[in-house]
Chain A
Amino acid sequence: MAAQGATATRSGLRSALPLLAPAYLWLTVAIFLPLSAMVFFSFMTELSLSGKPWAFTLGNYAAFFSQSLYLTLLLASLRLGLEVTLWCIVIGYPAAYVLAKVLKGRSREAIFLLVILPFWSNGLVRIFSWAMVLREGGILDTALNAVLPFKINIDLMYSYPAVIIGLVHSYVPYMVLTCYLTLQAIDDSLIEAGRSLGATRLQVLKRIIIPLSMPGLVAGAALIFVPVVGSFMEPRILGGRTGTFYGTVIEDQFVAVFNWPLGAALSFILLAVVLVILAVASPVLRRAA
């Protein structure tokens, strides 16, 4: 019986191989090769593009620990990731709830389109649009002053809030989508059953809806937290001088200082830290869900 089963799986694998091959080939070329090149770079003293001599070193990794600046920036980036993720939950989850459980038919499609729209616009265009809105004398400033009876000065440009706003706007669709999918899968009769058993709307939310949609919340949080911690475009353009984060430092090493080995080493440290955080958080979150 067991042997038969094993043969069956093996022959199943063999027939699936031609179908899987292109995917694995693509993964090898697109991810594994560049990544291993980066691992290699991160241990070099010098990128020998100009034919300079180079040697293997651990110095790039040591640099992270010898200068407190990197750790400070990493912590700032982690905090940024956490804050953006929280804002995305605060904004995205209720939106997903309304989409999945309140709206029906045409209005649902229309709102859905609005939520997805940031996905379809170019990232740079999006960020520069925010720059136009947030700067002094920009759209927000002008509009508020047109409505309010007193004069106020709104200049959010080149500030931490501007970075948060830009990042939240870019990433909130992930949260809406993942939460929408799990919320939509919750049968309305579960909510009605909860109410008929004497639970208020709030109790139903806390004890049925949120636990059942936890997988969506976790997936959305992971999808947002990881790229935000390493983000550089929004911090640089909207943050100005306040927008120095771990990601921007890595970017500098690649495009400005041309110290690829250091940039690569810093990236891998970030990757390791993020993986550790996800590994620690996942059992806790799984239990909550």
Chain B
Amino acid sequence: MAGVQVSNVSRSFGAHKALDDVSIDFADGGFYALLGPSGSGKTTLLRQIAGFDFPDSGRIAIGGESVERVPVEKRRIGMVFQNYALFPNMSVADNVAFGLSVRGEPKATTATEVQRALDLVQLSKLGGRRPHQLSGGQRQRVALARAIVTKPRVLLLDEPLGALDKALRVDMQIELKRIQREIGITTIFVTHDQEEALTMSDRIGILRDGRLVQEGPPEEIYDRPQSEFAATFLGDANIFRGDATGDGIRLSDGTAIAAGAGAKLTAGARASCAVRPERIQISTGAGRSDAGGANVLNGQVSKRIFAGSNSTYFVDRDGQTLKVIIQNTGAERLAEGQDVVLRWSPESTVLIAAV
């Protein structure tokens, strides 16, 4: 087992910078999610770590040793590809055995190791099948078994659950997490799916246009996004733009919004505030005094979407549409067109420097 250190890595394809000075420390035994829009460089970063491609500059170390001159087959990594990449000319068991047999392990130990790996992914009965005779979820598990049977130092997963439907996906997330915890392997997991990243990983890195936008534990990124992009890419956020006042911002119409978290900015600079939709309370405004310095805005409900356990209200306010999510407790529902008051605490408000 070993951690992975990526230091100042850049990689260009022609004039296009696919990776731009990226530095991330992947801790030993951790589960790390790489998140970002399509084309942001997630796959490119994995390929640098795996050794399929090489950085123009920067350094990559696995287990503390630079791998600059180490070819793929010597890096001792396990990779699960987005399309699984199972060998169609081999049975499931031979696929899993491949990594052991190319390094000349004796037949007997190979067989027991393969059986153990297939047990781990709960496919012990399907060893004799060909890959094309498996379902998508089974293929994915074979790919995982094949990657971990060689006891790699690092497991690289490139959107391995991308092709699965929602129910299977959730099953596989749980199983993947269980296996990862069981063998305690450093795992780097690329995904498009923010929910997947939030639920599965100990740390998340958000990439955008080849740059690392923000990095940290899921709660920290969700609660304290450092940019509008991070705020809106991971989860939903209402963004207010204005001038910094020292402990918040002032909107163009003079309304002050207090922020209890985020950057410290000098007064007068351009800044934004981000608020999560579920942190805002919505009411008709009657019978409540404005206590405790909460942020208060008036608006009008323009749309309501009922989603079972919760409802999403879209509230128009001064040309901006705000999103509010509330739990459905059975209390009265607000009608479209109704005037409402929005309240939320400064602690739920994150101050972000404008770029």
Q: How far is the CA of A212 from the CA of B102 in the complex (A)?
A: 17
The reply to whether B85 and A198 contact each other, CB–CB distance below 8 Å, is no
Interface segment among A121-129, A138-146, A184-192: the answer is A184-192
Q: How far is the CA of A211 from the CA of B94 in the complex (A)?
A: 14
The reply to whether B89 and A196 contact each other, CB–CB distance below 8 Å, is no
- Chain B residue numbers with a CB within 8 Å of A189 are 81, 83, 85
Q: How far is the CA of A203 from the CA of B73 in the complex (A)?
A: 11
Q: How far is the CA of A57 from the CA of B88 in the complex (A)?
A: 54
Any B CB within 8 A of the CB of A33 = no
**Residue of B with least CB distance to A289:** B89
Any A CB within 8 A of the CB of B69 = no
The reply to whether B73 and A187 contact each other, CB–CB distance below 8 Å, is no
The reply to whether A207 and B102 contact each other, CB–CB distance below 8 Å, is yes
- A183 CB to nearest chain B CB (Å): 14
- The interface size of chain A toward B, counting residues with CB under 8 Å, comes to 18
The reply to whether B77 and A199 contact each other, CB–CB distance below 8 Å, is no
Cβ 8 A contact of B89, one of A193, A203, A212: A212
Q: How far is the CA of A70 from the CA of B88 in the complex (A)?
A: 46
The reply to whether B99 and A192 contact each other, CB–CB distance below 8 Å, is no
Q: Mark A174-213, 1 if CB is under 8 A from B, else 0.
A: 0000000000000101101111111110010001100110
Q: Mark B81-104, 1 if CB is under 8 A from A, else 0.
A: 101011111000000001100110
The reply to whether B88 and A194 contact each other, CB–CB distance below 8 Å, is no
- Chain A residue numbers with a CB within 8 Å of B79 are 192-193, 196
The reply to whether A196 and B78 contact each other, CB–CB distance below 8 Å, is yes
Q: How far is the CA of A289 from the CA of B90 in the complex (A)?
A: 10
The reply to whether A199 and B81 contact each other, CB–CB distance below 8 Å, is no
- A259 CB to nearest chain B CB (Å): 50
Any A CB within 8 A of the CB of B350 = no
The reply to whether A197 and B85 contact each other, CB–CB distance below 8 Å, is no
The reply to whether B50 and A198 contact each other, CB–CB distance below 8 Å, is no
Cβ 8 A contact of A198, one of B52, B83, B86, B150: B150
Q: How far is the CA of A110 from the CA of B265 in the complex (A)?
A: 60
The reply to whether A211 and B89 contact each other, CB–CB distance below 8 Å, is yes
Any A CB within 8 A of the CB of B76 = yes
- Chain B residue numbers with a CB within 8 Å of A190 are 85, 87
The reply to whether B85 and A203 contact each other, CB–CB distance below 8 Å, is no
The reply to whether B73 and A193 contact each other, CB–CB distance below 8 Å, is no
The reply to whether B146 and A197 contact each other, CB–CB distance below 8 Å, is yes
Q: How far is the CA of A245 from the CA of B86 in the complex (A)?
A: 48
- A105 CB to nearest chain B CB (Å): 13
The reply to whether B76 and A192 contact each other, CB–CB distance below 8 Å, is no
**Residue of B with least CB distance to A193:** B85
Any A CB within 8 A of the CB of B294 = no
The reply to whether A200 and B73 contact each other, CB–CB distance below 8 Å, is yes
Interface centre among A196, A198, A203 (most CB of B within 10 A): A196
Q: A192-B52, A207-B98 are in contact. Are A199 and B73 (CB under 8 A)?
A: yes
The reply to whether A192 and B81 contact each other, CB–CB distance below 8 Å, is yes
The reply to whether B85 and A195 contact each other, CB–CB distance below 8 Å, is no
The reply to whether A198 and B88 contact each other, CB–CB distance below 8 Å, is no
The reply to whether B89 and A199 contact each other, CB–CB distance below 8 Å, is no
**Residue of A with least CB distance to B149:** A197
- Chain B residue numbers with a CB within 8 Å of A193 are 79, 81, 85-87, 146
List A residues 67-100 near B (Cβ within 8 Å): none
List B residues 147-188 near A (Cβ within 8 Å): 147, 150
**Residue of A with least CB distance to B83:** A189
Q: How far is the CA of A208 from the CA of B89 in the complex (A)?
A: 8
The reply to whether A196 and B77 contact each other, CB–CB distance below 8 Å, is yes
Q: How far is the CA of A190 from the CA of B75 in the complex (A)?
A: 18
Any A CB within 8 A of the CB of B213 = no
- A230 CB to nearest chain B CB (Å): 33
List A residues 204-243 near B (Cβ within 8 Å): 207-208, 211-212
- Chain A residue numbers with a CB within 8 Å of B50 are 192, 196
- Chain A residue numbers with a CB within 8 Å of B326 are none
Q: A192-B52, A196-B77, A198-B76 are in contact. Are A212 and B88 (CB under 8 A)?
A: yes
The reply to whether A197 and B81 contact each other, CB–CB distance below 8 Å, is no
Q: How far is the CA of A41 from the CA of B315 in the complex (A)?
A: 94
In the complex, 13 of the A-B residue pairs with CB atoms within 8 angstroms, ordered by the A residue number, are A187-B85, A189-B81, A192-B50, A192-B52, A192-B85, A193-B85, A195-B71, A196-B72, A196-B75, A197-B147, A198-B99, A203-B102, A211-B89
Given contacts A197-B98, A198-B74, A198-B103, 18 further A-B contacts (CB under 8 A): A187-B85, A189-B81, A192-B52, A192-B79, A192-B85, A193-B79, A193-B146, A194-B102, A195-B72, A196-B78, A196-B79, A198-B76, A198-B99, A198-B150, A199-B73, A199-B102, A200-B73, A212-B89
Which residues of A approach B to under 8 Å, CB–CB?
Answer: 187, 189-190, 192-200, 203, 207-208, 211-212, 289
